[in-house]
Amino acid sequence: MSGSAPPLAPAPPDAGRAPLRRRRRALGLAAALIGLILVCALSLLFGSRPVSVPEVVRALTTWPADGIAEAAVQSRIPRTALGLLVGAALGLAGALLQGATRNPLGDPGLLGVSSGASLAVVLGIAVAGVTSMSAYVWLALAGAGLTAGLVYGISSLGREGATPLKLALAGAAATAALTSLISAVLLSRADTFDVFRFWQVGGISGARFGDMLQVLPFLLVGAALALGTGRGLDALALGDDVASGLGRRAGRIRGIAAVAAVLLCGAATAIAGPIGFLGLTMPHLARAVTGPDYRWILPYSAVFGAVLLLAADVLGRVLTRPGDIQVGIMTALLGAPVLIAIVRRRRVVAL
């Protein structure tokens, strides 16, 4: 009949699954946050001197401490807080770099950003005698930004532009060159080496809230920019032409992601030293749980990064008690097998 209403179009096959998928992702993120709380508790419990749960409770409710155990717990609180900040920052930075470059090997360490920040700090110590955290932050940010621009510029040369393979090769070359320069400066300046050697390994021992307050604004701005790029990175994953067709500006998205990654990586490197593999492994772990949606990959990467960094720090304390293995060594030991697994995959494609 001409007056009858047209039949309703069938719903897309995925229409009913979207709410269920979102619910599962939200529950997964809640579970990861619970895991983060548990790791924080372990970070307060374990160290050169093991303490009990009641002693931890007393330490958190009694300030200043009135016993050796409570004092031990209170000395671990800044270390735990720094582990949260640095782990989340490096996890976020890795997810940003992988999404912006569409490179599954995108990582602040592999792309030379951490080495650039380290070289800037070394030169500041050797040439200007810099010792303050505020100066470290600005030097690290400048070094990370210049290196990121250099690597992207080199990889953009040629007809194909900045392909994932060219980015990885340019980053590896930059890392090797910058590491050689760092070694040259340290070998020629013994006083600089004494200041730099513990920072270079990467660690969160000796954390102080005063230092954290100096890097916190950079981390907060970087995190806010990062979490706002989720939809843009999803569009970039489809290719620049498709992203433009969807009304997204690929250059603007990459620029915001690059600024956020430099802020996160530079500030984290300034306060904790170059800690590797977190930025590489956490986005892959997050992607295995969430799928390809960067609106979820980014927060998952931040939480997973904090969990892994604190877990590695606790493990380093327990294995060599009463000694202490720096967390940068532990994350390398845990992250190296993941890197090998990624490289050995049959298909390494742009993300």
- Per-residue CA distances from 177 to 116, 119, 132, 174, 240 (Å): 10, 10, 26, 5, 31
User: Rounded CA gap, 204 and 327, in Å?
Assistant: 7
Q: Considering the chain, what is the average pLDDT of its residues?
A: 80
Reported residue count of the chain is 351
Cα distance between residue 67 and residue 129, in whole Å: 39
> Among residues 179, 177, 114, which one has the least CA distance to residue 143?
114
pLDDT confidence tier of residue 91, bands split at 50, 70 and 90: very high
**Pairwise CA distance, residues 293 & 92, whole Å:** 14
More confident residue, 38 or 108: 38
Mean pLDDT throughout 268-285? Answer: 84
User: What was the pLDDT predicted at 36?
Assistant: 93
Highest mean pLDDT among 68-82, 188-202, 270-284, 292-306: 292-306
pLDDT at 230 over 80: yes
pLDDT value of position 81: 92
- For residue 126 the two structure tokens come to 């050797």
Name the DSSP letter for residue 9: P
The pLDDT of residue 9: 43
Domains annotated for the chain, with CATH where assigned, are: 22-343 (1.10.3470.10)
- Summarize the confidence of residues 85-98 as an average pLDDT: 92
- Residue 94: burial class (beta carbons within 10 Å; 0-12, 13-18, 19+): buried
Cα separation, 161 vs 314, in Å, equals: 43
DSSP per residue, 270-336: HHH----SHHHHHHHHHHHHH-S-HHHHHHHHHHHHHHHHHHHHHHHHHHTTTS---HHHHHHHHHH
Q: What is the pLDDT of residue 201?
A: 58
DSSP 205: T
**Both ends of the chain: CA-CA distance in Å?**
50
Give the span between the Cα atoms of 240 and 243, in whole angstroms.
5
pLDDT of res. 338: 67
Q: What is the pLDDT of residue 161?
A: 67
The half-sphere exposure of 117 on its side-chain side, counting CA atoms within 13 A, is 33
Cβ atoms 148, 111 nearer than 8 A: yes
pTM comes to 0.83
Q: What value does the mean pLDDT take over residues 239-268?
A: 82
Contact yes or no for 201/272 (Cβ under 8 A)? no
Q: Which pLDDT band holds residue 348 (cuts at 50, 70, 90)?
A: very low
Inform me whether the pLDDT recorded for 252 exceeds 80. Answer: yes
Mean pLDDT of 247-276: 84
What pLDDT, in 10s, does the model give residues 93-120? Answer: 999 988 888 877 777 877 788 888 888 8
Longest Cα pair distance anywhere in the chain, in angstroms?
A: 93
Q: What pLDDT was estimated at residue 86?
A: 93
Average pLDDT over residues 268-279: 83
- Among candidate residues 231, 249, 230, 233, the one with its CA nearest the CA of residue 241: 249
CA distances for 169 relative to 2, 103, 164, 213, angstroms: 65, 11, 9, 36
- Inform me whether the pLDDT recorded for 202 exceeds 70: no
Q: Which residues contact 64 (CB under 8 A, 6 or more apart)?
A: 71, 74
